[in-house]
Amino acid sequence: MALMEFETVIGLEVHAQLKTDSKIFCSCSTRFGCEPNENTCPICLGMPGVLPVLNKRAVEYALKACLATHCEVERTNIFDRKNYFYPDLPKGYQISQFTLPIGRHGRITLQGNGIPKVIGITRIHMEEDAGKSIHGDNLGKPGKSYVDFNRTGVPLVEIVSEPEIRSAEEAREYLMILRSILEYSEVSDCNMEEGSFRCDANVSIRPVGQKEMGTRAEVKNINSFKFVQKAIEYEVERQSQVLRQGDQVVQETRLYDANRGVTFSMRSKEEAHDYRYFPEPDLAPIVIDEDWIKRAQSGLPELPEEKRDRFVKDYGIPEYDAGVLTASRALADYFEACIRTFNEPKAISNWIMSELLRELKSANKDISECPVTPENLAKLLKMVHDNTISGKIAKTVFEDMIASGKSPETVVEEKNLVQISDEGAIETLIDDVISANPEQAEQYRSGKDKVIGFLVGQVMKASKGKANPGLVNKMFQKKLRG
Ligand code: ADP
Ligand code: MG
Ligand code: ZN
């Protein structure tokens, strides 16, 4: 039998924590990193006789998430009870939305390699988070388990995509774009380390050309973009092998082990719960009227896609640059703040994309913690532009600015790095280089163009990088070739 070729089919379920200060049905804090069970009360602990009170702000944020992803909004929202037993779920049910999610039929546009691709969003619904089980093995208390209810009742939206994603890279891009949309709209801080943006990946494969989808595996709770991509790649490989051996993929829930780079079975779908959904009787339906939608819409900022298009149009930078710069709202703001000081968008964009992002990454810092203010970065690039310093020196100055937060003028002055553009001083250096390297000088004089690189290099070295290289070049030409 010829080797079968497969196509990958992926649908993603994302849980994003809404940015409210208090929980969705009680007034406990949603703050991360508190003492275990510090943020709890009879309501989120599911004591008998308590009643939930809906946090309106959570609905407002969910509504914004829907509008920012072009969903149709459900006008009459009801909540449903999803019943199951688990130690981290004190009520024995989770309040969620089942039959009527707040949003449906949305979309997210991937940029791919310049060819846009739309991924449908099936639904967005609101729900409360569960608590967290902590197993004593990791705390030096084997055999014991603990539960922390701080997360219980924290508001979430679950965003479910259509099975229209076709590769691990597309899945990664979908998540990056979704995260930036939610961040821009100030609906969620999408902090992956703190669990406010988590993803379940449903993965199946099918022979190329086949219409029906294959049996899927669902990889649960992946908490980094890199791991999503790796987990999917692993699944595709695993499922291909299963099919090539003539076996069947079983529908199951799997977990990703980042240390070993593999997924493993957690439970098969046969054991899956029947959740016995029914409408939550303790919460009245909430009506989202036209007026509320209008207000939410006008509260949305310029979203990444619009901003990217505007950057291309207004600043004349390439699509690719605009994509990188608008990936986070803070970075886009930083870029625009630079431009207000020094209006050379491409020079600024180049510097941000190479030097700045690299330095931030190696310091493990976010743009919001950048020690170099946009004004100072712009001033640095202006100094290069004005020939006050060379591009090469600028890199050294920049390293210093990153480390010390100093202004470029201060660094240049302290280290005496001003570019030498004085012709007399440069001529002296050139004469020295010619007499020390008569052979190369002669070669250049007799038409060997390439030697100029060497000669200029010698002058740059002698001047400790401070000579103006353009000027050095010109003066060599004039001197040796008249
Ligand atoms: P569940 O709630 O059991 O996870 P859903 O029907 O809500 O099931 O589907 C969840 C996700 O799985 C959706 O993103 C959907 O696009 C995706 N999905 C469904 N079937 C497949 C399949 N055969 N292969 C890949 N993804 C799938
Ligand atoms: Mg699922
Ligand atoms: Zn509470």
DSSP 283-323: S--EE--HHHHHHHHHT----HHHHHHHHHHHH---HHHHH
Report the pLDDT value the prediction gives residue 470, as an integer from 0 to 100: 87
390, 415, 440 - which closes a domain: 415
3-state secondary structure of 338: helix
C-beta separation of 78 from 281 below 8 A: no
Residue 114: the pLDDT is 76
CA distances to 162, 283, 415, 421, 450 from 66, rounded to whole Å, are 15, 22, 54, 58, 61
Q: In whole angstroms, give the CA distance from residue 347 to residue 332.
A: 15
**Residues 353 and 474 occupy one common structural domain:** no
Contact 199, 14 (CB under 8 A): yes
- Model pLDDT, residue 347: 95
Above 80 in pLDDT, residue 138? no
Q: Are residues 188 and 47 in the same domain?
A: yes
Residue 271 binned pLDDT confidence (cut-offs 50, 70, 90):
low
How remote is the C-alpha of 378 from its chain's centroid? 25
Distance CA 477, CA 470 (A): 11
Ligand 1 pocket mutation pick from 127, 202, 232, 236 by most atoms within 8 angstroms of CB: 202
Give the three-state DSSP class for 122.
strand
Ligand positioned closest to the Cα atom of 275:
1
Domain shared by 374 and 437, yes or no: no
Atom of ligand 1 nearest to the CA of 9: 25
| CA 472 to centroid of ligand 2, rounded, Å | 66
Q: What pLDDT was estimated at residue 272? A: 59
Q: Do 280 and 398 fall into the same domain?
A: no
Atom of ligand 1 nearest to the CA of 13: 14
Q: What is the pLDDT of residue 139?
A: 81
Q: Are residues 343 and 393 in the same domain?
A: yes
| Three-state secondary-structure class, residue 166 | coil
- For residue 388, the model assigns a pLDDT of 85
On the 0-12 / 13-18 / 19+ scale of CB atoms within 10 A, 10 is buried
Do 76 and 202 lie in one domain? The reply is: yes
Number of neighbours of residue 69 by Cβ within 10 angstroms:
21
Average pLDDT on 342-351 reads 96
Instruction: Look up the domain containing 338 and give its range.
Output: 302-415
For ligand 1, say whether the CB of 11 is within 6 Å of any of its atoms: yes
Of 415, 437, 464, the last residue of a domain is: 415
Task: Report how far residue 225's alpha carbon sits from residue 230's, in angstroms, rounded to the nearest whole number.
Answer: 9
Q: Does ligand 1 lie within 6 Å of residue 163's CB atom? A: yes
CA 217 to ligand 2 centroid distance, Å? 10
* Overall average pLDDT of the 346-370 stretch: 93
Contacts for 179 with CB less than 8 Å, ≥ 6 apart: 190, 197
**Residues 44 and 117 both lie in one domain:** yes
- Beta-strand ranges (E) seen in 103-213 are 103-110, 117-128, 132-135, 145-148, 155-161, 197-207
Q: Do 148 and 38 meet the contact criterion of CB atoms below 8 Å apart?
A: no
The protein residues having their C-beta less than 5 angstroms from ligand 2 (an ion) are 13
In a shared domain, residues 264 and 325: no
Q: Are residues 289 and 367 in the same domain?
A: no
Indicate if the pLDDT at residue 171 is higher than 70.
Answer: yes
How far away, in angstroms, is 202 Cα from ligand 1 center? 6
Looking at residue 113, its pLDDT comes to 76
CA distance 413 to 419: 11
Instruction: Give the Å distances, CA to CA, from 413 to 170, 351, 397, 417.
Output: 48, 22, 10, 7
DSSP class of 151: T
User: Average pLDDT of 64-69?
Assistant: 98
Gap between the Cα atoms of 105 and 102, Å rounded: 11
Q: Are 243 and 217 in contact (CB under 8 A)?
A: no
Of 6, 13, 273, the one to substitute when testing ligand 1's pocket (max ligand atoms within 8 A of C-beta) is 13
Q: Same domain for 324 and 349?
A: yes
Minimum-distance ligand 1 atom for the alpha carbon of 164? 16
Q: Is 239 in the pocket of ligand 1 (CB under 6 A)?
A: no
Beta bridge partners of 4: none
Number of C-beta neighbours around residue 30 at 10 A = 23
Query: From the alpha carbon of 272, which atom of ligand 1 is closest?
Result: 3
Indicate if ligand 1 lies below 6 Å from the C-beta of 213.
Answer: yes
- Considering the domain architecture, whether residues 371 and 270 belong to the same structural domain is answered as no
DSSP string, 54-77: --HHHHHHHHHHHHHTTPEEPSEE
For residue range 377-401, list pLDDT tens digits in order.
999 999 999 888 888 889 999 999 9
How close is the Cα of 287 to the center of ligand 1, in Å? 29
* Arithmetic mean of pLDDT over the chain: 93
In the DSSP assignment, the letter for residue 234 is: H
Number of domains making up the chain: 3
Sole residue written with tokens 């409408």: 279
The span from the CA of 185 to the CA of 272, in Å, is 35
Q: Quick check: CB of 13 below 6 Å from ligand 1?
A: yes
Measured by CA distance, the residue closest to atom 14 of ligand 1 is 11
Work out the average pLDDT over 74-90: 95
Residue whose C-alpha is closest to residue 340's, from 312, 371, 372, 379: 379
Q: Is 266 in the pocket of ligand 1 (CB under 6 A)?
A: no
Relative to the CA of 214, which ligand 1 atom is closest?
Answer: 23
Distance 270 CA to ligand 2 centre (A): 14
Q: Which of 415, 446, 465 is the last residue of a domain?
A: 415
Mean pLDDT of 70-83: 97
What confidence tier does 269 reach under pLDDT thresholds 50, 70, 90? low
* Bigger pLDDT: 415 vs 381: 381
pLDDT of 159 reads 98
Q: Binning pLDDT at 50, 70 and 90, where does residue 3 land?
A: low
What confidence category does residue 266 fall into, taking pLDDT thresholds of 50, 70 and 90?
Answer: confident
CATH number at residue 440: 1.10.10.410
Are residues 252 and 306 part of one domain?
Answer: no
Which residue CA neighbors atom 17 of ligand 1 most closely?
11
Report the atom number in ligand 1 closest to the C-alpha of 203.
25
Q: How far apart are CA 374 and CA 362, in angstroms?
A: 19
In the predicted structure, residue 418 carries a pLDDT above the cut 90 = no
